[in-house]
Structure 1
Amino acid sequence: MSIQWPLVFFTLFVGLGCGTFVSAAILTEWCGKAKQIRTISSILAIVALGIGGMSSTLHLGHPERMFGALGHPTSGIFMESTMIFLVGLTILIYLLALRRNASDATCKIIATVGAVLAVVLAFVNGDAYVMASIPAWNTWILPIFYVSSAAVMGCFSTGVLLARTEDADTTALITIKRAALIAIAIQTVLLIAYIGHIAVAPYPDVTRSVARVLAGNLALLFWGGLVLLGLLVPTVLMTKFYTKNAESVSPLTSVKLGLLSVLAAGVAFRVMMFLLGSSIKQFF
């Protein structure tokens, strides 16, 4: 299958928006730390969701036909559009509550609802690609991987916001560091599981083989984009995220580089997914 670039950036930016809001909501509302980033993180999440939504419309030859798809509640476009609307609306309500100095309990409830919806949206983005006709995609590992990808991107984007604030809360920085390392570890397990799925998927074909991923024309994408940029580089940067050694890389530089790295890895995974997306139609 050819690379569908609008869908690559649709899921990437939606994942970034979901991950940013969830990580910031957990840190500020549930852990009670760094509440000064609540507004900016929410705005960043909405902007990312908006960019993702606009990217999605570019995939349609006639974007106006999207309204026809919205008339079918079982379609992927309907589910994704509905979830983006609900998440965006909840974030706007949360921003309004912050603007009006609502109670901590009220803000916590709204943020929790938005976080749950954001996790569902990240899952729905991946679930839209689970198809029996495409063996490499026909696994629940895919939507779970999309959730973990959103979590990793969200940790780094929240880390950037934290590191940019004056007198940044060091405990909040350490919390984000630990969360990012856990998310990266989970993503590592899921990536291995996904490679295992490709190996045992029915209707084997060279276009979606493990050999093509590990040693074929997708090897550079896998080892360089996913393993190096997506796992190793962020892990190393997170170990230097907070340190008092003046000669070390600053926390802000670490998370900025880490964010760029995981974004590039997110693109690499989605590109690889499309290149592995050959159909079983040749078997019939």
Structure 2
Amino acid sequence: MSIEWSLVFFTVFVGLGCGIFVCSVILTEWGGMAKQVRTKSSLAALAALAIGGFSSVLHLGHPERIFGALGHPTSGIFMESTMLGLVALDIIVYLVAMRRNASDRTLRIISTVGIIPAVILAFAVGYTYVLSARPAWNTLILPLIYLASAGLMGCYSLSLLIAFTNNISSAPGTTSAEIAAAKGAPSAAGTIKWATLIAVAFQAVLLILYLIHLAVAPYPDITRSATRVLTGDLAVLFWGGLVLLGLLVPAALVSPFNKKKAKQIPPVASLAFGLVCVLVSSALFRGLMFSLGSSIKQFL
């Protein structure tokens, strides 16, 4: 099956936007840390969702008929668009509330409400592909990988924003207000790094389970086999793109046991490289998924 790149970018950027928003709310509103990144993280999440939505429209043969597609409430595109709209609306309300200096309780309520459709959306964009006619896709492990990917991208994005904030305290000409805002950044950075490692471990477990699913799925075929992934024509993509870029490099960059090398590389550069790795790996997994998406019966 050919790779639908517009859908790849749609799911990657939607996952990125949901991941950034959820991770930011958990850390800043529930954890009470690094509140100075709330505005930047919300704007970044909103931008990612916008890019994802635009990519989805480009997938249509006639993008100008998008409103016609949205006229069918039972369709997948309607459900995904509705959830995307709800998340985006909540982020906008959240930004307005912060702009108007709303109380911490109000901000926590608004942001927490937005977490629900964000998590559902990150899962739903993967669940859309769960089809019984395509054995490699007929498993809930697939949307769980999409959800784990969103969490990993969100953690890395938030770590990068916190690293920028942490640099404020040492920059020349920094005001006392900026120094006070950056005071909690180091502890927040440590928390989010551990969360990143957990997300990497969770994604690794899910990837192993997905390989097991490929090995035991009904209607076996070489086009969607674990052998093809591990040693066949998709092996370079799997070992290089998913294992190396998606698991090993991101884990090494935030590992607490890598302190010596961490001092030699600026945190911002290290985290930016890690974010690029997880973004590329997320896109490559979706490409792998499409490559394994042969149906039970080949009609063409």
| TM-score normalised to structure 2 length | 0.91
Shift in Å at residue 253 of structure 1? 1.7
Specify whether residues 47 and 241 from structure 1 end up closer, same or farther in structure 2 by C-alpha distance, changes over 3 A only.
farther
Gaps of 5+ in 2: 170-181
Q: Give yes or no for the alignment of 1:89 onto 2:89.
A: yes
Tell me what 1:75 maps to.
75
Distance 1:241 1:77 in 2: 44
Tell me what 1:122 maps to.
122
| TM-score normalised to structure 1 length | 0.96
Distance 1:194 1:135 in 2: 12
Distance 1:246 1:57 in 2: 41
Structure 1 letter corresponding to 2:195: A
Render the CA deviation track for 1:122-155: whole Å, top value 9, x for unaligned.
Answer: 0110011111111111101111111100000000
Shift in Å at residue 114 of structure 1? 1.0
Tell me what 1:159 maps to.
159
Tell me what 1:110 maps to.
110
Render the CA deviation track for 1:151-183: whole Å, top value 9, x for unaligned.
Answer: 000000001100011134110000010000000
Tell me what 1:60 maps to.
60
Q: Give yes or no for the alignment of 1:204 onto 2:217.
A: no
Distance 2:229 2:264 in 1: 35
Q: Give yes or no for the alignment of 1:45 onto 2:45.
A: yes
Aligned-pair Cα RMSD in Å: 1.6
Tell me what 2:273 maps to.
257
Gaps of 5+ in 1: none
Render the CA deviation track for 1:240-264: whole Å, top value 9, x for unaligned.
Answer: 6995888422221221111011011
Render the CA deviation track for 1:3-37: whole Å, top value 9, x for unaligned.
Answer: 00000000000000000011111110011011110
Q: Structure 1 residues 222-231 or 235-244, which shifts more?
A: 235-244
Distance 1:48 1:130 in 2: 24
Answer whether contact 1:174 1:242 (CA < 8 A) is retained.
Answer: no
Specify whether residues 153 and 67 from structure 1 end up closer, same or farther in structure 2 by C-alpha distance, changes over 3 A only.
same
Distance 2:218 2:127 in 1: 19
Answer whether contact 2:252 2:258 (CA < 8 A) is retained.
Answer: no
Shift in Å at residue 116 of structure 1? 1.9
Structure 1 letter corresponding to 2:277: S
Shift in Å at residue 69 of structure 1? 2.0
Q: Structure 1 residues 95-104 or 234-243, which shifts more?
A: 234-243
Query: Which residues of 2 match residues 156-235 of structure 1 at below 5 A?
Result: 156-165=156-165, 166-167=168-169, 168=182, 169-235=185-251
Structure 1 letter corresponding to 2:45: A
Answer whether contact 1:241 1:255 (CA < 8 A) is retained.
Answer: no
Answer whether contact 1:240 1:249 (CA < 8 A) is retained.
Answer: no
Identity across matched positions, percent: 63
Answer whether contact 1:9 1:55 (CA < 8 A) is retained.
Answer: yes
Higher alpha-carbon Rg: 2
**Stretches of 4+ aligned residues off by more than 3 angstroms:** 240-247
Answer whether contact 1:240 1:248 (CA < 8 A) is retained.
Answer: no
